[in-house]
Structure 1
Amino acid sequence: MNKGKFITIDGVEGSGKSTQIDLICSYLQRKSIDVVRTREPGGTDLGEKIRSLLLDVDNKEMHSDTELLLMFSSRNELIQNKIIPALNKGSWVVSDRFTDASFAYQGGGRMLDLNRISKLESWVLGEFQPNLTLFLDVSVDVGMQRVEARAAKDRIELEERAFFERVRSVFIDRSKSYPERIKLIDASGSISEIHNNIKLFLDVL
């Protein structure tokens, strides 16, 4: 049996990840591919409990290092207990966020040392990386307008505009540093336009 593929989707708040993940999973399933969908933080029973801690607005005083370590704790559970087993069975895994988000949000947004994050990445992931990362890029203004139209904000979404500008900047930098893996998708167009652009990368995996 062929090993499955691991696809991650990332971007700032309001980039349209959930909509495109729905379309990606449906597209792959129409091609008779078994798809496992997951998210970060979360994706496992323990990971979902960690997610609740991370996004709870009552935890606004959480130290940035604690946030980073909790993210990687949730990620380790997800990799070991869900992603790798699914890939070994030949399933494709589609994840809403992965390690690039830690570099962007904790590194860029929280301004933590990127080298420290790299060390955590090496410890938790080893050589393991997604086969494809889709970075859905929209301006912070557009993204936050979409967030404002949704339900109440979580702890991360309550951050200031400058925080998200730093997040977006790191995402863009990483797409330039790892062009073979990370594909920057203009997410300011229509849903169908974005999906058609994404399919071009899915079809060559």
Structure 2
Amino acid sequence: MTSRGRFITLEGGEGAGKSTQVKALAEALRDRGIDVLVTREPGGSEGAEKIRELLLAGPEERWGARAEALLFAAARADHVEKTIAPALEAGRWVVSDRFVDSSLAYQGGAGGLGIEAVREINAFGIGQCFPDRTLVLALPEGGARARARDNEESDRIGGRPEGYHQKVDLAFRLLAAEEPDRVRLVDASGRADEVTRCLVEAVADMLP
């Protein structure tokens, strides 16, 4: 009987280096003989990618906070059903660039809906499929430098005011303090290879 795989998510503010580190962590796990699926949010399945287009494009006022949270939850439900759950059941490890903690920090914390309210919305959508380990890439100097490191044009969420992104950072730190076994802060201010080494160390207890 195939044992269930592990589910790891990378989180953090805009431009913290998640996309680079997701790939690097996946390669480090593959070097240890682990079968890894890399995915992202919003997206990761055909339906979720369509919702991604609705969420990230257009003007800031396109969606209110509640509608935005519900759209993220709908995309996540499809992502879990079509991509994440089948991979885990097949014994693969899943590494995702963002997952439920992004909604808790962005819409729950910074968006003012409340972390617990957003957690309840997502619990209905994803059932028991919460990450085994969530790694939050943190920059001690805050959101301004994080976005300065992001070479891509900002989307409707990334382009929000500085105060919003400071609240996002605070919410991630709060989640790490509340769930230290699952959520780990990782300093993202060093060289890329140093950050990758810290990420591997943060999941060392899960390695076969």
How high is the TM-score relative to the length of structure 1? 0.95
Report the CA distance between 1:61 and its aligned residue. 2.8
Partner of 1:6: 7
Question: Residues 99-138 of structure 1: CA distance to partner in whole angstroms, max 9, x if unpaired?
Answer: 1111100012211132321221331233332111100001
Secondary structure class of the residue paired with 2:149: helix
Report the CA distance between 1:141 and its aligned residue. 1.8
Secondary structure class of the residue paired with 1:183: strand
Partner of 2:143: 140
The ranges of structure 1 where at least 4 consecutive aligned residues each deviate by more than 3 angstroms after the TM superposition are none
Question: Residues 65-98 of structure 1: CA distance to partner in whole angstroms, max 9, x if unpaired?
Answer: 1100000000000111111100000000000111
Cα RMSD for the two superposed structures: 1.2
Question: Residues 144-182 of structure 1: CA distance to partner in whole angstroms, max 9, x if unpaired?
Answer: 2112xx132111111000000000000000000000011
Q: Distance in 2 between matches of 1:117 and 1:180?
A: 21
1:105-124 correspondence runs (5 A): 105-124=106-125
State the AA in 2 paired with 1:84: A
Gaps of 5+ in 2: none
For the 8 Å contact 2:108–2:116, the answer to whether it is kept is no
Q: Distance in 2 between matches of 1:202 and 1:94?
A: 12
For the 8 Å contact 1:60–1:155, the answer to whether it is kept is no
Q: Distance in 2 between matches of 1:7 and 1:60?
A: 32
1:42-53 correspondence runs (5 A): 42-53=43-54
Report the CA distance between 1:193 and its aligned residue. 1.4
State the AA in 1 paired with 2:38: R
For the 8 Å contact 2:41–2:99, the answer to whether it is kept is yes
Gaps of 5+ in 1: none
Greater CA deviation, 179-188 or 54-63? 54-63
State the AA in 2 paired with 1:45: E
Question: Residues 8-45 of structure 1: CA distance to partner in whole angstroms, max 9, x if unpaired?
Answer: 00000011101111111111111221111111110001
For the 8 Å contact 1:10–1:17, the answer to whether it is kept is yes
Partner of 2:87: 86
Aligned residues: 203
Partner of 1:156: 157
Q: Distance in 2 between matches of 1:123 and 1:40?
A: 18
Identity %: 35
How high is the TM-score relative to the length of structure 2? 0.93
